[in-house]
Structure 1
Amino acid sequence: MTVNAFRISVSDDVLADLRARLERTLFTTASDSAFWAAGVDPGYLRELVAYWADGFDWREAEASLNAFPHYVAEVAGRQVHFVHLRGSRTEGGPAPLPLVLTHGWPSSFVEMLRVAPLLADPDDPADAFDVVIPSLPGFLFSELPREPFTRRGVAEIWHSLMTEALGYERFGAFGGDIGGGVTQWLGALYPGEVAGVHVTSAVLTTDFSQSPATPEEQAYLDGLAAYDLRDQGYSEIMWTRPDTIAAALMDSPAGLVAWIIDKYRDWSDCDGDLETRWDKDTILTVATLYWATGTIGSSFRQYYDYPHNKPVPPITVPSAITLSNEPAYANLPRSLPERVCTDLRHWSTPGRGGHFMSHEEPEQVARELRTFFGPLRRQV
């Protein structure tokens, strides 16, 4: 299994074509007078597109991304891209604990870059991690699997990446959204190698056939269903007609960035002000990566293939939840994840940081990870 160094390099021709498309963008008018009430505000989108076309410096963003050590590995015959940040250590001190961080949708490895240095180079080297940040299959520089995209399938790929390609015998796992599901599967499938799992969004795959939901649990599930009715328009089309929406987004960079920031604003802990969590340069870094790699359509595969996912079996390794402060997880009772996690050791509700917590609150996430994994460390 080969691992090769990798650098991000977008051609001048791709950037010139992108700029020309941005300059020809046609904008809609708002369907509702209330700001963002019917989706992305056309005025804000016009401002963002103008900056993307004439102001945003991709070469500066590219250089910043390449300051991190990037690699690609062939796993199960497919290319997997990842950032690998080695942890600091003192002579004679313990080796850093390897930790794989998994992002979700519509995200990327960029989500984890603010927290990664805090984990790899903490004040106390005894708290250091070797940080591995893969790009999910079909996202940016990672190829889709040949079989359906499932969280279990990604966990199997990550296990091969960590143990075979990188040679780690024991490691921890962290993630939210899709990454939370992958993280849970890592804990369920590989208790011998996985030291512990830590998620920020409790991915609920509980089977209630043997033990019906309690009144508190049912109240939460009913509230979640009501929220989904208002939020799930994006997912319905990606579950059922991903190629239709992908055709539009692959041809329109303005449409692409609108599709992304609609969820960045809704799911971040930003009180409706997107740029308190996502400044324009970061938004456009992510959007340019999706555009240059042509992977917005393949990023939908995990939605289209979702019926292939099965409930997560019991997770017996030590588990932790630092609960995202977003509507989907408001009032989540601890008893629900305890149905899946038989050793839930850490439960935290900080009330800050939404769906993209590692980007929104990196210091908080670093503290939570050090607190949970601290007692689980041993010479590795």
Structure 2
Amino acid sequence: MITLPPRLQASGTIGAHSWDELADPKDADAPTFHVVAPSLPGFGYSDKPATTGWGTEKIAAAWVELMARLGYDKFVAQGGDWGGVITTVPGGRFPAHVLGIHTTTAQSPPGLTTDGLTAAEREWAEETRDFWRHHAAYAKQQATRPQTIGYSLVDSPVGLLAWILDKFAEWTDTEDSPFETISMDTVLDNVTLYWLTRTGASAARISYESHNSLDPELRVDVPSAISTYPRDIEKCPRPWAQERFRQIVRWRSPETGGHFPSLEVPEYFVKDVQEGLAAVLAAHR
């Protein structure tokens, strides 16, 4: 999460190396944030939920409560992947507290037609369908039998490495190797965090708890900044996004970057977040 003095804030998922620039930007004209970066339940440094029900709706409500306990009654939120979905939910459910959002994972309501889309937008839609048809076995496994794969993820470091490295290899904007843009140490840090905290199984459960959980009727009326990177796994055409995000104040389609922009193109990503949230806040003036 991120917060803006004097009591304007934000929440989401941002690479740790980006926090300093967000909190103390080199550009004197850039917005300055307090950064609050909660770890998802079952991931990394968080406890492993002892009860069921910790899906995106419950986590989003917990984030709003967390921010209130930290003294931030109003805040802006940023996120991608699950963080993007969780950022969308409070944007729609808690507009009294969420001033606006920035997301790299804009999901439209289901069942929209490709009629009226440009050729490029149709290609985005087809690529997203192709991903879910042919490259999402991991998600279907975690959404239906998370504990089965979970035993392997906490028992075998090689199995855990293969499970995670596959995503870095497939979802980055690279030709032959994720290490073209992300250092091997960064990938190993990621895997090691899962291994030492034994959260491979508990993290997999978010797919089970949240599978198809985003309310088809959910609408986000607060100002929204949306960025879609060219090699991301889901790319939502703007006309579709507008069916859910009713006040898009900034839309960007960067030239490079994949599913992990904070790691792949960190300098651009930080600027993207700064400018996106600045546009969100400007909408309140």
Q: TM-score, normalised by structure 2?
A: 0.88
Identify the match of residue 60 of structure 2 among 152, 155, 169.
155
In structure 2, the gaps of 5 or more residues are none
1:98 pairs with 2:9 = yes
Q: Is the partner of 1:172 in helix, strand or coil?
A: strand
Distance in 2, matches of 1:197 and 1:120, equals 18
Distance in 2, matches of 1:309 and 1:144, equals 20
CA contact (8 A) 1:112 1:133 kept: no
Match of 1:337 in 2: 241
Give the C-alpha shift of residue 270 in structure 1.
2.0
Aligned-partner residue type, residue 225 of structure 2: A
Distance in 2, matches of 1:275 and 1:264, equals 9
Distance in 1, matches of 2:174 and 2:247, equals 32
CA contact (8 A) 1:177 1:203 kept: no
Distance in 2, matches of 1:320 and 1:177, equals 15
Distance in 2, matches of 1:355 and 1:222, equals 17
Identify the match of residue 207 of structure 2 among 289, 303, 323.
303
Distance 1:310 1:230, change over 3 A: closer
Match of 2:24 in 1: 121
**Larger deviation, residues 308-317 vs 214-223:** 214-223
Distance in 2, matches of 1:320 and 1:292, equals 36
In structure 1, the gaps of 5 or more residues are 1-83, 88-93, 103-110
Distance in 2, matches of 1:310 and 1:273, equals 33
Match of 1:227 in 2: 131
Give the C-alpha shift of residue 86 in structure 1.
8.1
Distance in 1, matches of 2:148 and 2:52, equals 21
> Size of the alignment, in residue pairs?
276
* Identity between Structure 1 and Structure 2 (%): 33
Aligned-partner residue type, residue 65 of structure 2: S
Distance in 1, matches of 2:17 and 2:230, equals 19
**Larger deviation, residues 288-297 vs 277-286:** 277-286
Give the C-alpha shift of residue 221 in structure 1.
4.1
CA contact (8 A) 2:56 2:85 kept: yes
Identify the match of residue 113 of structure 2 among 206, 209, 213.
213
Distance 1:221 1:352, change over 3 A: closer
Match of 1:317 in 2: 222
Distance in 1, matches of 2:2 and 2:240, equals 34
Distance 1:219 1:128, change over 3 A: closer
Aligned-partner residue type, residue 43 of structure 2: F
Distance 1:247 1:160, change over 3 A: same
Aligned-partner residue type, residue 85 of structure 2: G
Distance 1:139 1:347, change over 3 A: same
Q: Which has the larger radius of gyration?
A: 1
Cα RMSD (Å): 2.5
Q: Is the partner of 1:202 in helix, strand or coil?
A: coil
Deviation sequence 1:149-189 (CA, Å, 0-9, x none) = 3211111011011112x111211101111111000001001
Q: Is the partner of 1:354 in helix, strand or coil?
A: coil
Distance in 1, matches of 2:254 and 2:21, equals 19
Match of 2:38 in 1: 134
Give the C-alpha shift of residue 324 in structure 1.
2.1
Distance in 1, matches of 2:182 and 2:213, equals 31
Aligned-partner residue type, residue 170 of structure 1: K
> Whose RCO is larger (CA < 8 A, sep 6+)?
2
Deviation sequence 1:232-280 (CA, Å, 0-9, x none) = 1212221222222221221111111111010011111122321122212
Aligned-partner residue type, residue 189 of structure 2: T
CA contact (8 A) 1:101 1:112 kept: no
Match of 2:165 in 1: 261
Distance 1:115 1:274, change over 3 A: same
Q: Within 5 Å, which residues of 2 pair with 1:237-248?
A: 237-248=141-152
Distance in 1, matches of 2:156 and 2:275, equals 44
Q: Within 5 Å, which residues of 2 pair with 1:48-197?
A: 95=6, 97-102=8-13, 112-123=15-26, 124=28, 127-145=31-49, 146-164=51-69, 166-197=70-101
Match of 1:251 in 2: 155
Q: Within 5 Å, which residues of 2 pair with 1:20-31?
A: none
Distance 1:364 1:298, change over 3 A: same
Distance in 1, matches of 2:56 and 2:157, equals 29
Q: Is the partner of 2:254 in helix, strand or coil?
A: coil
Aligned-partner residue type, residue 237 of structure 1: Q
Q: TM-score, normalised by structure 1?
A: 0.67
